[in-house]
A and B are shown apart, each in its own frame.
Chain A
């Protein structure tokens, strides 16, 4: 049994010439946990996310995902890492020329999944996010909340063990925010580890899960059943 899904040990990320994005950050996340990373803009939350998907490499320290040391991961190994992680960003990154179904299926096609599996899995995940009746809509024909749910569906098709969401409710109203958080909670209930990066106080306080607070690139608090206290 894996003891930690995420393990960051004394991680520092410096951008040239000398901008320190995060400094000596250490935390662990157990499999099946739901963790929120909170903080104001520019406190290093997104840098942590980028390190977890190897979009950036740590300047110092050690980063492990599911026991795999990705601190100095080779470029060729990055796809294998990302197939095990579901990622959701605020800016969606949906392909406008593809329907909701095609956007989700695309994630499986590019990793060589058989067509039969694609036609089984894609409707399932679209049903989980409540879009089973809007599969043939293009992103432009969907509301902000619906488009974000397509992104979540796309991140789920690989059946990832780890689900990362960077400000997934940033552009959404209260109702849509509530729906997205409900979906994330549902995903977590299936046993998937969820890391949510947000600066939405209301969301964090309603979740009542573990909260890691960051400020000026450092962790200032780490609480079980925490609240947004900044």
Chain B
């Protein structure tokens, strides 16, 4: 068993070495396929970061009538926080709303004078509600439209944001669809490239396969070197792809920082925290593909 494994490994290394150019070409094509997949992953990560950044700037402000006291607003805040869709609710008391208004209109003496003439605080408390995902705002609004809150709420400014939120959601859906479409096309191309590359590699060894069959080598001994070679191809391609990806990040990060001003997006950190999954899955996928391709490519020559 060990002797056979050692000979299979030796044969695989000999095949790799004797057809060095074909081996390099195979690894290069596998790398191109993996780089395409990584490009899609990076686009997804950048899109997600942009979405989160924009979402962070959006909230729904609920303005309460001035007659509503702060305790009632606190109760509604507590109810809102119980909702799964809600990530945070900022409470601005009546006094805070007044102070905010004054600050916003400090350069407008007419408004400030009118306010003074009222002799009382005309503002109610305000709740600024943030959803976990921009898609969830309509559900929060529906919650606030309950009859029991109708008399308490003066205004909700969701309508102002609704357009923006709808746009962002539509944009994200488009990006996701585009990403999936491109990933599917690249994936299909990668599969075809890998299958054909392996077929060419096996074709060049048809002489050895014929001789092996003739002298009584078992099918698994014949397949062994090709499987081992697939392992070498997949491992080398994955390691080199990882190297190119990280080099690319170093090069691209300053440009990304400029492009997404104010958004904290480190691709290196993103990859570092997911490296085992990203490259592990890519290695397994490419090895599975090359192994299955070689299995079928070799089978053709095993019929002799």
| Size class of the A contact interface (CB-based, 8 Å) | 20 to 34
**Across the interface, do B217 and A110 meet the contact criterion of CB distance under 8 Å?**
yes
- Chain B residues with Cβ below 8 Å from A87 are 214
**Across the interface, do B216 and A80 meet the contact criterion of CB distance under 8 Å?**
yes
- Chain B residues with Cβ below 8 Å from A30 are none
A83 to B218, alpha carbons, bound, how many Å? 10
Chain A positions 81-103 with a Cβ under 8 Å from a chain B Cβ: 81-83, 87, 93-97
Number of B residues, CB within 8 Å of A? 20
**Across the interface, do A112 and B213 meet the contact criterion of CB distance under 8 Å?**
no
- Chain A residues with Cβ below 8 Å from B304 are 55
A76 to B219, alpha carbons, bound, how many Å? 7
Q: Is residue B88 within 8 Å, beta carbon to beta carbon, of the partner chain?
A: no
Instruction: Write the chain B residue with the least CB distance to A84.
Output: B216
**Across the interface, do A110 and B210 meet the contact criterion of CB distance under 8 Å?**
no
**Across the interface, do A75 and B216 meet the contact criterion of CB distance under 8 Å?**
no
Chain A positions 144-160 with a Cβ under 8 Å from a chain B Cβ: 154, 158
Out of B3, B210, B217, which one reaches A93, CB within 8 Å? Answer: B210
**Across the interface, do B221 and A110 meet the contact criterion of CB distance under 8 Å?**
yes
Q: Is residue A138 within 8 Å, beta carbon to beta carbon, of the partner chain?
A: no
Instruction: Write the chain B residue with the least CB distance to A76.
Output: B219
**Across the interface, do B212 and A110 meet the contact criterion of CB distance under 8 Å?**
yes
- Chain A residues with Cβ below 8 Å from B4 are 112
Between B208, B213, B214, the greatest number of chain A beta carbons within 10 A of the residue's beta carbon is seen for B214
**Across the interface, do B3 and A114 meet the contact criterion of CB distance under 8 Å?**
yes
A81 to B219, alpha carbons, bound, how many Å? 13
A97 to B217, alpha carbons, bound, how many Å? 19
- Chain A residues with Cβ below 8 Å from B7 are 109-110, 112
- Chain A residues with Cβ below 8 Å from B222 are 110
Q: Mark B198-226, 1 if CB is under 8 A from A, else 0.
A: 00000000011011111111110110000
- Chain B residues with Cβ below 8 Å from A78 are 213
Q: Is residue A79 within 8 Å, beta carbon to beta carbon, of the partner chain?
A: yes
**Across the interface, do A110 and B3 meet the contact criterion of CB distance under 8 Å?**
no
A80 to B221, alpha carbons, bound, how many Å? 13
- Chain A residues with Cβ below 8 Å from B221 are 110-112
Tell me how far the C-beta of B15 lies from the nearest C-beta in chain A, rounded to whole angstroms.
Answer: 10
Considering the complex of A and B, which 4 residue pairs feature the smallest CB-CB distances, nearest first? A110-B217, A83-B216, A82-B216, A107-B215
What are 14 of the A-B contact pairs (CB < 8 Å)?
A76-B218, A79-B213, A79-B217, A82-B216, A83-B215, A83-B216, A95-B208, A95-B211, A107-B215, A107-B216, A110-B215, A110-B222, A111-B218, A158-B215
Other contacts beyond A79-B213, A97-B18, A111-B217: 6, CB < 8 A? A80-B216, A81-B216, A82-B214, A82-B215, A95-B208, A110-B217
